[in-house]
């Protein structure tokens, strides 16, 4: 079953066999998108960790790395932990 949170691309950016995002991945994307919409920048790894009740930002790093691997987010160009959305509709939904 493919849902609204389904995304996956090939190395060239073309759609490939989709995998539905997990609930946690969708929640993280919404948190990041809301922060960008309200504050103009993404939350820190510590802020994401706090929102999920995690004590260490390492879990956030693993989550964000997974989203990068899926091609949903891209590494930011200005800072080492910056995040950019591949599709702008995530920020505007």
Lowest pLDDT segment from 20-24, 33-37, 63-67, 69-73: 69-73
Of residues 54 and 88, more confidently modeled: 54
Please report the pLDDT score of residue 50 as a whole number: 95
**What is the rounded average pLDDT of the residues 23-38?**
89
Does residue 36 have a pLDDT over 60?
yes
Establish how many alpha carbons lie within 13 A of residue 53's alpha carbon, considering only the half-sphere containing its beta carbon: 2
- Domain range list for the chain: 23-92
**What is the dotted CATH code of the domain comprising 23-92?**
1.10.10.10
Of residues 93 and 81, more confidently modeled: 81
Alpha helix ranges (H) inside the chain: 23-39, 45-52, 58-70, 89-92
User: What's the pTM?
Assistant: 0.67
Per the prediction, the chain carries an average pLDDT of: 75
Does residue 17 have a pLDDT over 50?
no
């Amino acid at each position: 079953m493919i849902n609204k949170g389904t995304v996956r691309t090939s190395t060239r950016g073309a759609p490939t066999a989709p995998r539905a995002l997990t609930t946690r991945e969708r929640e993280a994307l919404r948190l990041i998108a809301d922060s960008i919409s309200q504050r103009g920048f993404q939350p820190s790894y510590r802020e994401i960790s706090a929102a999920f009740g995690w004590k260490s930002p390492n879990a956030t790093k693993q989550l964000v790395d997974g989203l990068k691997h899926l091609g949903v987010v891209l590494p930011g160009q200005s800072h080492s932990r910056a995040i950019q959305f591949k599709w702008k509709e995530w920020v505007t939904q």
